[in-house]
Amino acid sequence: MAKTPGALLGPVPFADVEADSGLVSSVPEHLPEEHADADLVSALPSAPRPNKGLLNLRFYEGIWLPEYFVPAAVALHRRFEPRRDDVIVASFPKCGTTWVNALTFATMARHAYPAAGAGHPLLRLNPHQCIPFLEGLFRSPRGEAKLEALPSPRLMNTHMPLAMVPRAAAPGGGGCKVVYVCREPKDMVVSRWHFHRRLHPELAFADVFESVCSGTVGYGPVWDHILGYWSASTARPDSVLFLRYEELLRDPAEHVRKLARFVGLPFSGIEEDSGVVHDIVKLCSFGHLKNLEANKTGHLNPALPIPRDALFRKGVAGDWVNHMTPDMARRLDEIVADKLHAAGLTFHE
Ligand code: PAP
């Protein structure tokens, strides 16, 4: 059995929990059983891989998953049991994950860690180190035990489509809260290309673009990813908060207030008067995070040896104009509009 920290209230910085080996030391060190199933991955359809900078993908339950994540994704799909007071930050990669992780952590943990305080965890840790990555936990020994050991309320992060975490935000109640952030797809493509080029400098922009347009991209198709969370947010707005990266850029303070209300921790009048919202926005701002040592040095993780600074490139909307021809932009716009219009979802710039 994993040891639960005494009176500790979540969310706590996950890196600190990981460092406390006593928390799960009595749990045998083994990977989820799905990792030992030799046929699990090979039985799934695979996608052609036009460029070695792109990931090998396998098709599972309507989703193209990075091959190396398949056993973890299946384990997560089968076994993840949310607690009622959990909060999950969900996103398609490169759509604002790091920022929303930081804002949600700073908002939920503000009583233990005042945003203006010199000892704030986000001053010494990358936002991804503060919040456990669900599919990452399901591919690490004792990952599930660490998840269990986290004090409530837990804050977690995933790139999985909602269908892969079926008990989160479940219809009929019983699930937890989900904060989803989406981004204008053309900017997502540009951000994704720059990110993967840090490992594969030869990666062609056109190959990343084509993979997104065809839907055969890790965690894709992107429109299904967005639609799953969008539909849940319209059906169950108390369970799923749907945010847009571009709107966050326009008015971060208003979105921090929305986030706080959504997780059941609205700002008091005293907090408003003393500038707590502003402190959180400032702490998590692109300019501030980008220049912290924790975000300038080190790598994301051993499985993805990309420098952490790759998470803080430009932080703007509309950078696609510098990378796409008008024809490419029109083509992706049309695909996305065609997939999303029936659900009443559009992207404006
Ligand atoms: P991930 O899914 O791999 O965690 P994610 O954080 O979603 O990546 O995407 C990184 C993008 O968010 C980068 O966009 P760009 O390539 O267009 O510049 C990054 O600059 C942007 N980003 C990271 N932190 C912030 C922030 N605090 N404010 C605004 N944008 C940010």
CA of 165 to the centre of ligand 1 (A): 23
| Confidence at residue 130, expressed as pLDDT on a 0 to 100 scale | 96
CA distance 202 to 45: 27
Q: Residues with Cβ < 8 Å from 27, sequence gap 6 or more?
A: 1, 2, 142, 145
Q: Return the higher-pLDDT residue of 7 and 160.
A: 160
Q: Read out DSSP for 273-285?
A: HTTHHHHHHHHT-
CA of 293 to the centre of ligand 1 (A): 17
**What is the number of the ligand 1 atom nearest to the C-alpha of 284?**
27
Share of the chain above pLDDT 90, in %: 76
> Which residue from 126, 311, 319, 349 has its CB within 8 A of the most atoms of ligand 1, so it is best to mutate?
311
Q: Return the higher-pLDDT residue of 244 and 10.
A: 244
Whose CA is closest to atom 31 on ligand 1?
315
Encoded amino acid at 203, one letter = L
Each residue's pLDDT tens digit, 169-192 = 887 777 899 999 999 999 999 999
Each residue's pLDDT tens digit, 97-156 = 999 999 999 999 999 999 999 999 999 999 999 999 999 999 988 888 889 989 999 999
Residue 160 CB coordination number (10 Å): 25
CA of 193 to the centre of ligand 1 (A): 13
Each residue's pLDDT tens digit, 25-35 = 766 677 888 88
Whose CA is closest to atom 30 on ligand 1?
315
Each residue's pLDDT tens digit, 52-102 = 778 899 999 999 999 989 999 999 999 999 999 999 999 999 999 999 999
Q: Read out DSSP for 286-346?
A: HHHHHTSHHHHSSEEETTEEEEGGGG-S---S-GGGGT--HHHHHHHHHHHHHHHGGGT--
Q: How confident is the model at residue 295 (pLDDT cuts 50, 70, 90)?
A: very high
Do residues 230 and 255 touch, judged by C-beta distance below 8 A? no
CA of 286 to the centre of ligand 1 (A): 8
Q: Three-class SS of residue 18?
A: helix
Whose CA is closest to atom 27 on ligand 1?
286
Q: Is the pLDDT of residue 225 over 80?
A: yes
CA distance 35 to 184: 35
Whose CA is closest to atom 12 on ligand 1?
96
Spell out the CATH class of 29-343. alpha beta
| Confidence at residue 2, expressed as pLDDT on a 0 to 100 scale | 47
Whose CA is closest to atom 8 on ligand 1?
94
Q: Is the pLDDT of residue 305 over 90?
A: no
Share of the chain above pLDDT 70, in %: 94
Q: Is the pLDDT of residue 50 over 80?
A: no
Encoded amino acid at 184, one letter = E
> Which residue from 92, 99, 180, 316 has its CB within 8 A of the most atoms of ligand 1, so it is best to mutate?
99
| Confidence at residue 23, expressed as pLDDT on a 0 to 100 scale | 67
Catalytic residue numbers read: 159
CA of 100 to the centre of ligand 1 (A): 9
| Confidence at residue 325, expressed as pLDDT on a 0 to 100 scale | 97
Q: Please, how many CA atoms are within 13 Å of residue 116, restricted to the half-sphere of its CB?
A: 7
| Confidence at residue 70, expressed as pLDDT on a 0 to 100 scale | 94
CA distance 219 to 102: 22
Between 41-50, 107-116, 331-340, the lowest mean confidence (pLDDT) is in 41-50
Q: Which residues line ligand 1 (CB under 6 A)?
A: 91, 93-99, 187, 191, 194, 284-286, 289, 311-315, 319
| Confidence at residue 55, expressed as pLDDT on a 0 to 100 scale | 83
Average pLDDT of the residues of the chain? 92
